[in-house]
Amino acid sequence: MMSELMLSNLLSKPVCTGSLLLISDHEDDLIIFKGLQNKHDYTLHISQEGNLALEKAVKHQPDIILLALDFTHTPANILIRHLQSKASLQKIPIIAIIEENEPFDRKKLFKNGYVDYLIRPLQPEEIYARVNVRMKMQKYLPNDQNPNFVLIDVEKLESIFTSLLSNSLQLEEKVAEHTEELLELNKVYERFVPREFLDFLNKNSITEVKPGDQVQREMTILFMDIRDFTSLSEKMTPQQNFNFLNAFLNQITPVIRENNGFIDKYIGDAVMALFPHNPEDALKAAIKMCKTTERHNLKLRALNYPLIKIGIGVHTGRLMLGILGDKERMQSTVISDSVNLASRLEGLSKTYGTSIILSKHTLLRVQNVKKYNFRFVGKIQVKGKKNAISVYEILDGEKIEMLKLKLKTKQDFEKGITFYQNKKFAEASVQFNRILKFNPEDKATRLYFERCAQLMVHGVPDDWDGVEIMSGK
């Protein structure tokens, strides 16, 4: 006789796969079982016609037959007699599907040839557990290869099966709960290490990362910084300071995600973001961040809080994404000269008194560049680097009044820059002075006007080429 320990060991073995024949015309049954088929390795055959059910059973020889007692085409008791009349089908277990409010006698059900039953509304986890158990039990049914097998009585088998199934379902629930907890925990971790970062490292979970993991990619880097935040913070308590900054970041960071970027890190009042797909995504985000800041300032003015002004630098280049540290303390980071240059451009936006500074390298990669307003503001060279780069001011980030003024004087400004780089400082001064009379708040123009005056008074160094050397941020 099969012992309870023997049956328990059997049911704890790995999941079996096999084929199921579902005899039902109930739409919900079909949906549930098709979902089960997609999720697991079962082959599913379906019969919604009584006369076809027998043919399909004989043809496919399923491991398990599931028969709806409310099958409308042929009464279930007649259909089961037909199934049991076929020698090739007699050993196939049949599971009944019963309506929730339908009265039934379990003993009569088993006596009529059913080995188990499922009650609607059907639960995928319960179906999965019961089907697996029945498939495994098939190995221990009497057959020609096991002539000494003695089957225990039905009541005893049902008792053991019910007990083990109950434990199996409880285990399924615990596993499901634990899985849900892990998914939630992973989502929390993604707030600290972006999901995109893990994807680039080809990791499914934060638990898989280790120090030294790295990958090289070309991306567009965006740095944003709040102007004179130290002065702003001095007027507030630490708690007010924290809430003030957090309220602003809650407005700004969604703009980055909306434009296919992700936050690499917060650096005090600064934000570093990466745009892996299209440089224009970063440009759109930068412009919208400026507009969002304007709207946020309306709220701050109503609350009598100091207003915020931001500067943004954008550059595209190759970089290394990776994990630094040791097994006790790790941090995701991005390292490259491109990151350093983007940071310098953000600092340059303060020098030129503009909201957004973009490298030529990025501007050339913007497909719809004619949609945007910009002006050339000069060439810079990061200290330690041989090559200078051209940089542009994106005018669309300015307030509407300033945008109109800079657009009207754009040709004069760029003509003045050309004179300046060709060492024609007097001619350049005329251009810049004309602009300042029209727009005295144009900080970049004033900067070049003052430089021209200094060079005319103090002379031009022999190695001067019009390129500004940036030694610091």
Is residue 262 helix, strand or coil? Answer: strand
69 and 117 Cβ atoms separated by less than 8 Å: no
Which residues are registered as beta bridge partners of 471?
A: none
Does some domain include residue 208? Answer: yes
DSSP string, 200-228: HTT-SSGGG--TT-EEEEEEEEEEEEETT
Judgement on whether residues 285 and 177 belong to the same structural domain of the protein: no
Judgement on whether residues 62 and 106 belong to the same structural domain of the protein: yes
Q: Give me the tens of pLDDT residue by residue for the chain, a chain 473 residues long.
A: 444 444 444 444 444 567 888 888 888 888 888 887 777 777 888 888 777 888 888 888 888 888 888 777 677 778 888 888 888 888 888 888 888 777 777 777 777 788 888 888 888 878 887 887 777 776 555 554 444 444 445 555 556 566 666 666 566 666 666 666 666 665 655 556 566 666 666 766 666 666 667 677 888 999 999 988 887 777 788 888 888 888 999 999 999 999 999 888 888 888 999 998 899 999 999 999 999 999 999 998 998 888 899 999 999 998 877 777 777 776 667 777 888 889 889 988 888 999 999 999 999 999 888 899 999 998 888 766 778 889 999 999 898 999 999 999 999 999 999 999 999 999 999 999 999 999 999 999 999 999 999 989 888 887 788 787 776 55
Does some domain include residue 417? Answer: yes
- Domains identified in the chain, total number: 3
**Is the backbone of residue 36 left (phi > 0), alpha (psi -120 to 50) or beta?**
alpha
Question: Which CATH number fits the domain that encloses residue 256?
Answer: 3.30.70.1230
Integer Cα distance of 433 and 17 in angstroms: 83
Residue 57: both structure tokens together: 């059973």
Contact residues for 92 (Cβ-Cβ < 8 A; gap 6+): 57, 61, 62, 63, 64, 65, 83
Neighbours of 337 (CB within 10 A): 14
Judgement on whether residues 379 and 415 belong to the same structural domain of the protein: no
Does some domain include residue 274? Answer: yes
H/E stretch holding 265 = strand 262-267
Specify the pLDDT at position 314: 95
Integer Cα distance of 315 and 347 in angstroms: 13
125 and 175 Cβ atoms separated by less than 8 Å: no
Domain span including residue 228 = 195-398
Specify the pLDDT at position 140: 56
User: DSSP state, 15?
Assistant: P
3-state secondary structure 149-162: CCCCCHHHHHHHHH
Specify the pLDDT at position 83: 83
